């Protein structure tokens, strides 16, 4: 065998050995990928494969068809909670105490001195109306008594009812809530409680039942008494309870109320003291449906409780302690402040998908892929929450529970983990995330990574030693096959030579 042939044999043997040594590598990679699929499938099963959150959508960030979109609604906060944060500043209320709550979800939107003790003035009558509605029939007829006026001074707000006049409970409620008649409050207190003193005991017991923490009543109408007080937050609790009664809402939301003729009075029209309801007032809350109650004493200042509905949303607000800074019969500053506060509550807040399906919320490193070094972790659904209007995905805090890196191959929609979404320290929701795009597997990178491991280098070294031994053995065997045959003995050579000589052949023929 020539040296060139021996070199060709050696090269072929080396190539075959190297091919054999790496033939198992793709199989190993496929096995590893299969294990990863099993693990991710288990993760998907554990999470239910459903989305509960998302944000600013990437064009390629879609999840697998098997994932079902769901919605995670933000946790409701009771009226005992702190006011939520909003980058849009709330307007001036022109009162030392104020409170605003979203009635649809219980979120406190604004609180200023909400737990400070204040005198409620005639907003007290919200509690009076609540108890009367709970204890009396609207059609019950009550006769006004002289004793109903003994606690009232000449400057007290009156509705014009007279001694011995007979009115239904419904009409007496209108006399108390619209023109804020203290006379009607005492008549109703006696009718519902037996005496106004016993009725006040019922008021305080009901306040405790409602969870009021710093509220005490001394009379049914709100005339000043140092022992007659509440807070903006407590008054909102009472107001919310009253708002559950349809008749309270009907009366307290009316601009006018027509009283039928009685045994003492002709038919007459009552007018509200709430300028937000009065369409002729400069403070009219246009575009809102308003239910409210006003109040005023020198000690308590201008007080106002209002519930408003606009575009399907519902708010309740309380302002206490405003200045009596306008002429009689015109709106004081607290009405304008209340209107501005309500508009802010409607305009500066919204319930929306703060994260949308497909929003890329995090990034996960990807090894062994020539398509890139990372893949986006896209939301598998939407997070719906009550938040400041116009909030962007970048304004949210995203805490991702995803691996630092995964190995290719990665398919679009493969589960990657979960993220938690919050804003200004308030939890909004959590959502599974999945690969936003596919990432292919690279044999070249896999081999390079595999060979970078010391243990694998030892394996390759051992394989090469075996290959080298095989090559040496093959070369040695080839040399043995090419070795010349041994020379024959002398006698045999001469005989063979004679037999092959031409003369011998001719001689044999001659003798024949």
Q: Quick: pLDDT tens for 338-348.
A: 999 999 999 99
- For the CA atoms of 242, 246, 252, 258, the dihedral, rounded to the nearest 10 degrees, stands at -140
- Asked whether residue 63 carries a pLDDT value surpassing 80, the answer given is no
Residue labelled with tokens 């280098």: 457
Residue 52: pLDDT band by 50, 70, 90 thresholds? very low
Task: Report the distance separating Cα 340 and Cα 90, nearest Å.
Answer: 9
Task: Report the distance separating Cα 436 and Cα 211, nearest Å.
Answer: 49
pLDDT of residue 54: 35
pLDDT of residue 444: 77
Task: Report the distance separating Cα 120 and Cα 130, nearest Å.
Answer: 16
pLDDT 10s digits, 91-140: 999 999 999 999 999 999 999 999 999 999 999 999 999 999 999 999 99
Residue 70: pLDDT band by 50, 70, 90 thresholds? very low
Cβ-proximal residues to 35 (8 Å cutoff; 6+ apart), any chain:
none
The larger pLDDT score, comparing residue 222 to residue 469, is at 222
pLDDT of residue 478: 77
- Section 378-394 average pLDDT: 96
Total-model pTM: 0.74
Low-confidence winner among 25-39, 184-198, 339-353, 441-455 (lowest mean pLDDT): 25-39
Beta-sheet strand order (sheet of 405-407): 397-401, 415-423, 426-435, 374-379, 360-367, 405-407
pLDDT of residue 441: 84
Nearest alpha-carbon partner for 278 in 294, 266, 267: 294
Sort strands 97-102 and 313-322 into parallel, antiparallel or unpaired: antiparallel
Q: How far is CA 381 from CA 354, 420, 428, in A?
A: 11, 13, 14
pLDDT of residue 374: 94
């Amino acid at each position: 065998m020539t040296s060139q042939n021996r070199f060709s044999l050696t090269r072929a043997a080396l190539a075959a050995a190297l091919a054999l040594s790496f033939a198992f590598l793709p199989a190993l990679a496929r096995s590893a990928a299969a294990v990863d699929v099993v693990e991710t499938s288990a993760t998907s099963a554990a999470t239910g494969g459903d989305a509960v959150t998302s944000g600013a959508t990437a064009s390629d960030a879609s999840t697998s068809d098997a994932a079902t979109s769901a919605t995670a609604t933000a946790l409701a906060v009771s009226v005992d909670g702190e006011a939520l944060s909003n980058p849009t500043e709330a307007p001036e209320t022109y009162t030392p105490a104020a409170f605003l709550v979203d009635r649809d979800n219980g979120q406190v939107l604004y609180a200023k001195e909400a737990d400070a003790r204040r005198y409620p003035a005639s907003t007290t009558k919200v509690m009076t109306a609540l108890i009367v509605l709970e204890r009396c029939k609207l059609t019950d007829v009550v006769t006004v008594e002289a004793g109903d006026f003994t606690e009232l001074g000449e400057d007290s707000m009156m509705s014009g009812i007279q001694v011995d006049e007979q009115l239904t409970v419904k009409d007496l409620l209108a006399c108390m809530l619209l023109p804020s008649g203290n006379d009607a409050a005492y008549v109703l207190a006696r009718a519902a409680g037996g005496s106004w003193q016993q009725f006040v005991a019922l008021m305080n017991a009901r306040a405790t039942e409602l969870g009021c923490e710093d509220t005490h009543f001394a009379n049914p109408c709100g005339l000043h008494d140092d022992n007659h007080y509440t807070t903006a937050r407590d008054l909102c609790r009472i107001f919310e309870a009253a708002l559950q009664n349809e008749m309270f809402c009907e009366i307290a939301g009316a601009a006018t109320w027509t009283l039928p003729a009685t045994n003492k009075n002709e038919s007459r029209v009552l007018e509200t003291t709430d300028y937000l309801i009065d369409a002729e007032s400069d403070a009219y809350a246009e575009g809102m449906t308003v239910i409210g109650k006003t109040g005023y004493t020198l000690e308590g200042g201008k007080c106002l409780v209002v519930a408003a509905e606009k575009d399907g949303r519902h708010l309740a607000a309380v302002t206490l302690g405003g200045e009596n800074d306008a002429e009689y019969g015109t709106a004081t500053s607290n009405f304008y402040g209340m209107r501005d506060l309500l508009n802010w509550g409607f305009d500066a807040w919204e319930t929306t998908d703060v994260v949308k399906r497909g929003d890329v919320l995090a990034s996960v490193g990807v090894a062994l892929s020539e398509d890139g070094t990372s893949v986006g972790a896209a939301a598998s659904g939407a997070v719906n929450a009550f938040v400041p209007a116009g909030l962007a995905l970048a304004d949210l805090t995203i805490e991702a529970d995803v691996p630092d890196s995964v190995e290719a191959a990665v398919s679009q929609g493969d589960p990657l983990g979960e993220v938690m979404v919050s804003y200004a320290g308030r939890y909004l929701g959590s959502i599974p995330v999945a690969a936003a795009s596919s990432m292919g597997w690279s044999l070249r990178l896999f081999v390079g990574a595999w060979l970078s491991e010391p243990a694998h280098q030892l394996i390759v070294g051992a394989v090469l030693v075996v290959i080298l031994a095989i090559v040496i053995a093959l070369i040695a065997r080839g040399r043995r096959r090419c070795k010349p045959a041994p020379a024959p003995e002398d006698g045999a050579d001469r005989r063979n030579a004679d037999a092959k000589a031409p003369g011998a052949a001719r001689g044999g023929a001659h003798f024949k």
